[in-house]
Amino acid sequence: MAPWPLTVLVVSAVSGRIVAAIGGRGTAVLGALCFVAAALWWVVLAGDGSGGTHYGGRFLPGLVFAGLGTGLYQPVMFAAAGALPSSQLSLGSGVLMVSRQAGTALGVAVLVAVMGGQHPTFGALRAGWIIAAVTSALAVAAALPLGRGRATA
């Protein structure tokens, strides 16, 4: 699992330049598309039944895509909350934090429900990855209305 947060670390270091180059909207859309790519990668390639699990070719690329998604999407959301008027800054920050925590809890609950509370099978994991791909596509839709302007240095 370490490649995911390590990719976030690397991408976060350059995310400001990426936002400056393609804007917040483009960065958020690209980040959400990376999450879609991660989930679809795992649906198609992880445990395809051809025998054995090949971490480097079947699982690792999805982790890198997910890290790219996190590193690109989250800074834009934090910047959007930080751009609120000072009278609404605390409210916006609180909504962002609650939505992140609730989203994580809801995601885990849905995955457990999909797996029926049992040890995960590849079929159950595939169903979870499909749900992740769909919800990530919804994140793409949520990012589309963001301002089209480029960020200033």
Q: Please give the average pLDDT of every successive group of 10 residues along the chain, which has 153 residues.
A: 91 91 92 94 74 73 93 86 87 88 87 77 81 91 73 42
At residue 134, what are phi and psi to the nearest 5 degrees?
-65, -45
Is 151 part of a structural domain of the chain? no
Specify the pLDDT at position 50.
58
Of 35, 44, 43, residue with least CA distance to 8: 35
**In the chain, what's the furthest Cα-to-Cα distance?**
58
Domain range enclosing 45: 3-143
| pLDDT of the residue at 59 | 83
The answer to whether residue 148 is domain-embedded is no
pLDDT at 49: 56
Is 85 part of any domain?
yes
Is 150 within the bounds of a domain? no
Where residue 111 sits, what CATH number does that domain have? 1.20.1250.20
Q: Which amino acid is at 60?
A: L
- 40 belongs to a structural domain: yes
Enter the pTM of the model.
0.80
pLDDT of residue 122: 73
Alpha helices in the chain (DSSP H): 3-45, 60-82, 89-114, 122-143
Instruction: Please give the Cα distance from 113 to 109 (Å, whole number).
Output: 6
Q: How many domains does the chain have?
A: 1
